Copies of this chain bind each other. A is one copy, B any other.
């Protein structure tokens, strides 16, 4: 049984102006437990071998002068695969000590330390391929991006194990960066930013871990220097417009989201009202106009870009797994900063759909992009942008990113404040705030009942147990002793204020009727379509469940009820939604698929029973077509 990890990726500083403070959760059973077990038993343990065969560890040995040969890999940021894996392993060790994993972490930490240059700089690409030339290509070099991931790994290692080795390396690099980068007049040689934000949020966390204010100041400097043309003014690099002036998210999705996570961090630690306003404004603009139903982000393969408002394609959805992870990281910081439930609404949607789809059920195969549709007759390009799961990628950013989020997931589920405990996500396990422990029992997301038992409570004073009522939920009840409530739900929170005693029991009932969802009419890609959802889960059709043809001639019959069928045998155990549909008879259009509107009538077709499975579980059986959005006529 995993123990509670002592601290997660976000630990507020002493002056933080956050509405909420992170609470500790232990996940003991259920879907997230199962998937985290796969992460712990399969994905993380296979990391060192994969990093070895891809060449990442070899590069570190080369840089340390401990091996001979050529640099391996195609990108200047290959070191981050190692750092993200180290971070994942560290969070895992925080929950459950393990000899073999500790040995791997120690060994790889040693490689990292040995590769570091005497002044703290560390980037194997630039050391080996670019002859040690530094910071000459900030737009594409990713040197500070790499520093950021190193710092995050080091903090995880230090928080989880109490050991200083990796943190020492990271601080040395951070100090080096701090000696090089600064505003004009600071006496630092370079006024610059990295084309890929990441170091900013890492530096805030390093401030939190060490108490050194200069790391926070450096993060603030980097955040505010974006958008002033230092990198040529490209949206791709988050350099077209300063965050404080931006009206919508834009450019490379992951870059935008990591930068916004840092903005939220800074607003939290410094009370910067401008950054807080920008974060709130951009989150609202993103969710309203640039978010796929799955929580996936990024509409363009080209430049991994957000695209235009309401441009949310299905088969060409990019929805990089890393963007889903970055979105969770940003939204969690916003949830803590503001106390608003909607941020955790998006986290829930993203975790159960856009994120969870990124790794196979067996933990061994990955998706970099997460489309909402694969067409009949799809010709897959293979490679990193394949719609088929892949063992590892040339640009392997996503797999270790998934590993680190899984391994730290318990830190995104609950919070505490002076008034009590807030439960953001429902699991079987325990939530521990400040002097309060509540135990949860649930089969969520398959069943909507969550039983909560107070285990530890101050005896003498009332406090509030706040339960997030998901934004999708239209039917909520809570029993508390003999009483039943349906509300009020205020801004997404159902708040129960009591003087609690150990053993007090609350049962939350979230209605999980399957539902048909339609989009804002400006989302052209899904006009005339609905999606099947149930609870936090987005559903999809897969070709394998619909023998006798493809999916692109299928129409959903919205007049017939949806039925729910739990299938313990299927895909690790899922609840399916069964719907009625038809296979259209498509007229032979000759050679031209466009006809005058009055000629373009389409006949009815054969009835067909449609079986929808959770989107997160797609692409775990034979290759075929897939659809989230289903035409209705």
B-contacting residues of A (Cβ < 8 Å)? 235, 248, 250, 283-284, 287-289, 291, 293, 300-303, 305, 308-311, 313-316, 342, 345, 373, 375-379, 381, 385, 471, 474, 515-525, 527-531, 552-553, 558, 584, 586, 589-598, 600, 602, 629, 631
Q: Are B471 and A592 in contact (CB under 8 A)?
A: yes
Sample of 9 further A-B pairs with CB below 8 A, known A517-B595, A518-B594: A284-B591, A308-B377, A308-B379, A316-B316, A373-B524, A516-B597, A519-B600, A521-B631, A524-B525
Q: Are B287 and A592 in contact (CB under 8 A)?
A: yes
- How distant is A529 from chain B, measured CB to nearest CB, in Å? 7
Q: Are A303 and B381 in contact (CB under 8 A)?
A: yes
- How distant is A449 from chain B, measured CB to nearest CB, in Å? 22
Q: Are B600 and A518 in contact (CB under 8 A)?
A: yes
| Chain B residue nearest to A283 in the complex (CB) | B591
Q: How far is the CA of A381 from the CA of B252 in the complex (A)?
A: 12
Q: How far is the CA of A525 from the CA of B631 in the complex (A)?
A: 11
Q: Are A378 and B521 in contact (CB under 8 A)?
A: no
List, in ascending order, chain B residues with CB within 8 A of A527's CB. 527-529, 631
Q: How far is the CA of A303 from the CA of B553 in the complex (A)?
A: 28
User: What are the nearest 3 A-B pairs in CB distance?
Assistant: A520-B593, A518-B600, A528-B528
| Chain B residue nearest to A235 in the complex (CB) | B379
Which residue of B288, B376, B522, B631 contacts A591 across the interface (Cβ within 8 Å)? B288
A520 with B316: in contact, given A310-B552, A381-B235, A552-B310 (CB under 8 Å)? no
Q: How far is the CA of A527 from the CA of B518 in the complex (A)?
A: 14
List, in ascending order, chain B residues with CB within 8 A of A283's CB. 591
List, in ascending order, chain B residues with CB within 8 A of A584's CB. 521
- How distant is A25 from chain B, measured CB to nearest CB, in Å? 25
A378 with B596: in contact, given A284-B591, A525-B525 (CB under 8 Å)? no
A interface secondary structure, majority: loop
Q: How far is the CA of A442 from the CA of B58 in the complex (A)?
A: 73
Which residue of B385, B519, B593 contacts A594 across the interface (Cβ within 8 Å)? B519
| Chain B residue nearest to A599 in the complex (CB) | B518
Instruction: List 18 contacting pairs A-B, 8 Å CB cutoff, sorted by A.
Output: A289-B593, A300-B301, A300-B316, A305-B381, A308-B315, A309-B375, A310-B375, A311-B315, A311-B375, A313-B316, A316-B316, A342-B591, A373-B524, A516-B598, A521-B584, A522-B552, A523-B593, A528-B528
Q: How far is the CA of A250 from the CA of B378 in the complex (A)?
A: 11
Q: How far is the CA of A289 from the CA of B522 in the complex (A)?
A: 25
Best-buried of A287, A474, A527, A600 by chain B (most CB within 10 Å) = A527
- How distant is A448 from chain B, measured CB to nearest CB, in Å? 16
Q: How far is the CA of A519 from the CA of B524 in the complex (A)?
A: 15
- How distant is A609 from chain B, measured CB to nearest CB, in Å? 20
List, in ascending order, chain B residues with CB within 8 A of A385's CB. 302
- How distant is A255 from chain B, measured CB to nearest CB, in Å? 15
List, in ascending order, chain B residues with CB within 8 A of A516's CB. 596-598
Q: How far is the CA of A590 from the CA of B288 in the complex (A)?
A: 7
A250 with B379: in contact, given A288-B589, A302-B301, A474-B596 (CB under 8 Å)? yes
Q: How far is the CA of A138 from the CA of B531 in the complex (A)?
A: 46
List, in ascending order, chain B residues with CB within 8 A of A530's CB. 597
Which residue of B284, B522, B596 contacts A517 across the interface (Cβ within 8 Å)? B596
List, in ascending order, chain B residues with CB within 8 A of A305's CB. 381
Q: Are B594 and A520 in contact (CB under 8 A)?
A: yes
| Chain B residue nearest to A558 in the complex (CB) | B597
List, in ascending order, chain B residues with CB within 8 A of A303's CB. 381
List, in ascending order, chain B residues with CB within 8 A of A309's CB. 375-377
Best-buried of A235, A287, A303, A379 by chain B (most CB within 10 Å) = A379
List, in ascending order, chain B residues with CB within 8 A of A629's CB. 524
Q: How far is the CA of A590 from the CA of B592 in the complex (A)?
A: 41
Q: How far is the CA of A553 from the CA of B293 in the complex (A)?
A: 21
- How distant is A37 from chain B, measured CB to nearest CB, in Å? 32
| Chain B residue nearest to A343 in the complex (CB) | B591
List, in ascending order, chain B residues with CB within 8 A of A287's CB. 591-593
Q: How far is the CA of A592 from the CA of B515 in the complex (A)?
A: 16
List, in ascending order, chain B residues with CB within 8 A of A528's CB. 527-528
Q: Are A515 and B308 in contact (CB under 8 A)?
A: no
- How distant is A596 from chain B, measured CB to nearest CB, in Å? 5
Q: Are A602 and B521 in contact (CB under 8 A)?
A: yes
Q: How far is the CA of A302 from the CA of B387 in the complex (A)?
A: 14
- How distant is A222 from chain B, measured CB to nearest CB, in Å? 23
List, in ascending order, chain B residues with CB within 8 A of A631's CB. 521, 524, 527
Q: Are A595 and B235 in contact (CB under 8 A)?
A: no
List, in ascending order, chain B residues with CB within 8 A of A474's CB. 596
Q: How far is the CA of A624 from the CA of B376 in the complex (A)?
A: 35
Q: How far is the CA of A240 from the CA of B302 in the complex (A)?
A: 23
- How distant is A546 from chain B, measured CB to nearest CB, in Å? 16
| Chain B residue nearest to A340 in the complex (CB) | B591
| Chain B residue nearest to A349 in the complex (CB) | B592
A314 with B375: in contact, given A301-B300, A517-B594 (CB under 8 Å)? no
Q: Are A596 and B518 in contact (CB under 8 A)?
A: yes
Q: How far is the CA of A553 from the CA of B523 in the complex (A)?
A: 11
List, in ascending order, chain B residues with CB within 8 A of A515's CB. 596-597
Q: How far is the CA of A516 from the CA of B600 in the complex (A)?
A: 10
| Chain B residue nearest to A518 in the complex (CB) | B600
| Chain B residue nearest to A387 in the complex (CB) | B308
Q: How far is the CA of A595 from the CA of B600 in the complex (A)?
A: 29
List, in ascending order, chain B residues with CB within 8 A of A381's CB. 235, 303, 305
- How distant is A359 from chain B, measured CB to nearest CB, in Å? 23
List, in ascending order, chain B residues with CB within 8 A of A590's CB. 288
List, in ascending order, chain B residues with CB within 8 A of A375's CB. 308-311
Q: How far is the CA of A595 from the CA of B523 in the complex (A)?
A: 12
Q: How far is the CA of A522 from the CA of B584 in the complex (A)?
A: 10
